[in-house]
Amino acid sequence: MDDLLDIQKRILPDLVEVMQKRYQILQYINAMQPVGRRNLSMSLGLTERVLRSEVEFLKSQNLIQMSAQGMSMTKEGKDILERLERVMRDLTGISTLESRLKSEMGIARVVVVPGDSDVSPWVKNELGNACATSMKHRLSSDNIIAVTGGTTMAAVAETLTPEFGEKNLLFVPARGGLGEDVNNQANTVCAIMADKTNSRHRVFYVPDQVSSEIYESFIKEPLIYEVLGLIKSASMVLHGIGDAITMAERRSTSPEDMEKIIRRNAVGEAFGYYFNEAGEIVHKVLTIGLQLDDLTEVDTIIAVAGGASKAKAIRAYMKQAPRSTILITDEGAAKNLVQGF
């Protein structure tokens, strides 16, 4: 296969370009269906004339279908896209990127999806799909899944399907989240995941950050103690990785702590821990929920983060991440990550 792809690149470069373009069109339609031609044109940066020609070809091959709502994939189109994805991973060097990052970071696996979610927001849907696939391969029966909040985890939630519910899932927030945007709170993400999979979930209505006195008081409450027990016995953890300053601002961090985060050159955040580029913890928020040390007892940890701007944050966190971690990221972040090794 590698020899064939190399020959195609050298002898038929136009063919490879056409294949990449049609792959991107199918990928976008699959992620955003039903979608109109204008949205597709703007998102992929193709002129409407070029796009019209490509869409007609794909329709003639019964790969997509048209309706009043827009374009969507046919069953045949989904089958072709799945097969094409394997070819494109080799063609674009994604497989090589994954292997190198896995080796450099010393973690269990790296999955890279095409695109850059900083440039193309719809790539977050692909991150969600990749996370869902990794989950599906690793779920056994009777799973407790701890989930953090954030826009990326919200995207993951939207990709889950009822078939996941066959595994008897219980979704629990990995930490408190009151004070954040309600749509991105772990409670909300867990509720959506449970709804999409016909599963159960528990709520965890506690602040994201507390004083030591309040912390000691809260964890003695029976309901909070019970949910904390579920969180710490999770068999799977799904979490994002944030840019340090963005996360500090989102949490309305005090001026004193913000000054400390900036002065100590924090670049990444996860689970309330702030990391510098060397992966050192330079600040920690006292949160009620999953702690970094708790991850050593978890069977499956899936970290999802994409966009070229997240590369520093991802690299910093991965220096502390358990070796069993699976990283789901995109090309934008992956290409920046390899430059740092």
- 112 forms bridges with which residues in the sheet? 329
Q: Can you give the pLDDT at residue 59?
A: 94
Q: Can you give the pLDDT at residue 250?
A: 84
Phi-psi region of 134 (alpha: psi -120 to 50; beta: other; left: phi over 0): alpha
* Domain 2-87, CATH: 1.10.10.10
Q: Is 304 exposed, middle or buried (0-12, 13-18, 19+ CB in 10 A)?
A: buried
Consecutive 10-residue averages of pLDDT for the chain (341 residues): 62 76 90 89 86 93 93 94 85 88 96 92 91 92 91 93 88 76 82 95 77 68 85 95 92 89 96 94 87 92 97 96 96 91 64
SS3 of residue 3 by DSSP: helix
Contact indicator for 243, 151 with CB cutoff of 8 Å: no
Contact indicator for 185, 251 with CB cutoff of 8 Å: no
Q: Can you give the pLDDT at residue 211?
A: 62
How many other CB atoms are found less than 10 A from the CB of residue 42?
12
H or E stretch at 112: strand 109-113
Short-list 235, 232, 214, CA closest to 142: 235
Contact indicator for 283, 309 with CB cutoff of 8 Å: no
* Domain 94-339, CATH: 3.40.50.1360
Listed by start position, the domains of the chain span: 2-87, 94-339
Q: Can you give the pLDDT at residue 184?
A: 74
Q: Residue with structure tokens 């983060």?
A: 305
pTM of the model: 0.86
Question: What pairing do the DSSP bridges indicate for beta strands 236-240 and 143-147?
Answer: parallel
Contact indicator for 1, 90 with CB cutoff of 8 Å: yes
Q: Can you give the pLDDT at residue 215?
A: 66
Q: Do the domains spanning 2-87 and 94-339 agree at the CATH topology level? A: no
Q: Can you give the pLDDT at residue 213?
A: 67
